[in-house]
Amino acid sequence: MKKPHIVILGAGYGGLVTTKKLEKLLRSGEATVTLINKHSYHYITTQLHKIGVGTAPDRKIALSIPELVNDSKTRFMTGTVTNVNAESQVVFLESGEEISYDYLVIALGFEVATFGIPGIKEHAFGIRSFRSSKAIYHQITKQLTLYKEDHDPSRLTFAVAGGGFTGIEMLGELAEGLPKLCEEHGVPFENVKIIGIEAAESLIPFFGDELIAYTSHIMESYNIDIFTSTKIKSCTENAVQLENGLEIPCRTLIWSCGVKANSLLERFGLPLVKGKLPVDKNLLVKGTENIFCIGDCALFMKDEKTALPPTAQVAMQEADVCGKNLTALIRGENLKAFEYHHKGSVASIGDRTAVGKVGSFTMSGWFAAIMKRVIENRYLFVLGGPSLILKQTLLLKREQL
Ligand code: FAD
Ligand code: NAD
């Protein structure tokens, strides 16, 4: 009998953890598994802001996928997915290749949401992938280099739009990383301005007053100018226009005002809600029997009104159940209903401090920063066990010498 073919699209948090789960669960000969990803590396999205400022070595954030998967159990293909035909059960790649599947997992992640605001797509920098974060790094170093020639102060103004988790992590990283970059480029750091712009009344508006006050205090101690209740209206190559009529001369606007599902989903001919694929309790795309969707592409309703947020934590928990349900489908067993267990959230502000909440327990400062590292190491453990943690730690130590 022909072995069923499972095809997983995207090797981010959802796709890679599903792959690792299947490597553990499937018995030899039960199915063939193909993992397809745009690049041959998996990036640790939760630390991409570090690539933007050059505060972490590339190899710590971009991990080789062939080294993470077991090639006797998973066939890895580098390829860009361009479409899926759910009726004929085929995935189309940019290379012209067509891959047939029996079971499909869609885990193609997120895109930066620009809300159609004029100039953002063309001139602002999003934190989306390893490459987009590298583009931020190149923009910063280019502006430092050019400043030495023309002394234009707009080159030394670095603005971050959005004061959610991504925004505060980026601001913290800029505050800690820019002094070193300035020194390397012979530019006085005193001339640099770091600005945070948030539409809501405070940074991290979804956290309680205590953590909001702590975060604002840290921003102040870093001399970061925070504009709250301030919405960005548009941007050009050398300025940001605010809804209150003010204009900030600035060559680098880092856009972290939210995310949406990968717009590639629009081509698949499957019904979308808010740009995402609605999934049932077992994570199957509604109306299908062999297509799972997980992570930022999936719309999973926690209750009638609330959808799960686009986080790595959600994607990983979904991946665990997706792996179990694929195995169950192949074996003709009952599927497991997905239940999300929120374990808390921690956001770093540079390397030394962080803010977080686990249940009703709030944390800030160095303790929260350590918790953030524990969470990151736990992820490495899921991907490659203790040896990957050790390898990554040694890598960092070597780069610091
Ligand atoms: P992704 O991890 O985005 O993976 C999608 C994969 O699909 C990528 O490898 C991509 O290259 C690939 N892909 C895309 N298009 C194609 C294509 N056409 N063909 C082939 N491959 C393709 N969440 C947390 O829970 N904790 C955090 O601390 C945290 N920190 C974050 C920090 C930042 C700066 C950002 C931007 C997000 C953070 N998040 C965090 C959110 C988290 O990163 C996402 O929710 C998570 O990555 C979603 O996982 P995913 O598998 O759905 O997609
Ligand atoms: P977000 O949606 O959480 O925050 C975006 C912020 O931008 C909001 O505060 C919003 O008010 C603001 N904003 C929107 N439009 C604006 C405008 N025109 N001008 C000024 N401000 C504007 O998005 P995010 O921070 O990119 O996070 C995306 C997802 O990734 C979330 O689910 C988040 O929880 C997750 N994430 C988690 C972590 C972590 O756990 N450490 C870190 C980063 C991201």
Statement: residue 338 has pLDDT above 70:
yes
The pLDDT of residue 205 is 87
pLDDT at 399: 66
pLDDT value for 398:
66
- Tell me if 104 sits within 8 A of 297, measured CB to CB: no
Closest CA to 125 of 107, 149, 143: 143
Report CA(114)–ligand 1 centroid distance (Å).
17
Q: Name the percent of the chain in helix, strand, coil, to the closest 5.
A: 40, 25, 35
Residue nearest to atom 14 of ligand 2 (CA): 257
Give the model's pLDDT for residue 392. Answer: 85
How far apart are the CA of 164 and the centre of ligand 2, in A? 4
pLDDT tens-digit readout, 247-291: 999 999 999 999 999 999 999 999 999 999 999 999 999 999 999
Look at ligand 1, atom 2, and give the residue with the nearest C-alpha: 12
Q: Which residues sit with their C-beta closer than 6 Å to ligand 2? A: 117, 161-167, 169, 197-200, 205, 231-232, 256-259, 309-311, 345-347
Distance, in Å, from the CA atom of 117 to the CA atom of 103, rounded to the nearest integer, reads 38
Is the distance from the beta carbon of residue 162 to the nearest atom of ligand 1 less than 6 Å?
Answer: no
Average of per-residue pLDDT values in the chain: 96
Q: Return the pLDDT at 359.
A: 86
pLDDT the model gives residue 400? 62
Q: 198 pLDDT exceeds 70?
A: yes
Q: Ligand 1 centroid vs 313 CA: distance in angstroms?
A: 11
Position 401 pLDDT exceeds 70: no
At 118-141, the pLDDT tens digits run: 999 999 999 999 999 999 999 999
CB distance 256 to ligand 1 below 6 Å: no
Atom 45 of ligand 1 has which residue's CA nearest to it?
311
* Confidence tier at 376 by pLDDT (50, 70, 90): very high
169 catalytic per annotation: yes
19 pLDDT above the threshold of 90: yes
Residues 201-207 have a mean pLDDT of 92
Are 170 and 154 in contact by the 8 Å Cβ rule? The answer is no
pLDDT in tens, 54-96: 999 999 999 999 999 999 999 999 999 999 999 999 999 999 9
Based on its alpha-carbon atoms, the radius of gyration of the chain, rounded to whole angstroms, reads 22
- Indicate which residue's Cα is closest to atom 33 of ligand 1: 46
User: What integer is the mean pLDDT of 236-245?
Assistant: 97
Residue count of the chain = 401
The residue contributing the CA closest to ligand 2 atom 1 is: 258
Phi, psi of 169 (to 5 degrees): -65, -40
Q: Does residue 396 register a pLDDT over 80?
A: no
The active-site residue out of 23, 169, 173, 220 is 169
- Considering the entire predicted model, what is its pTM? 0.96
- Residue 164 clears pLDDT 80, i.e. is over it: yes
pLDDT class of 391 with cuts at 50, 70, 90: confident
Ligand 2 atom with the smallest distance to the CA of 117 is 18
User: How remote is the CA of residue 125 from the centroid of ligand 2, in Å?
Assistant: 15
**Measured at the alpha carbon of residue 38, what is the angle toward residues 318 and 291, in degrees to the nearest 5?**
40
What domains appear along the chain, each with residue ranges and CATH number?
5-112+260-342 (3.50.50.100), 120-257 (3.50.50.60)
Ligand 2 centre from 204 Cα, in Å?
Answer: 8
The mean per-residue pLDDT over the stretch 291-306 comes to 96
Instruction: For residue 132, give the nearest of 203, 61, 227, 236 by alpha carbon.
Output: 61
> How far is Cα 293 from Cα 295, in angstroms, rounded to an integer?
7
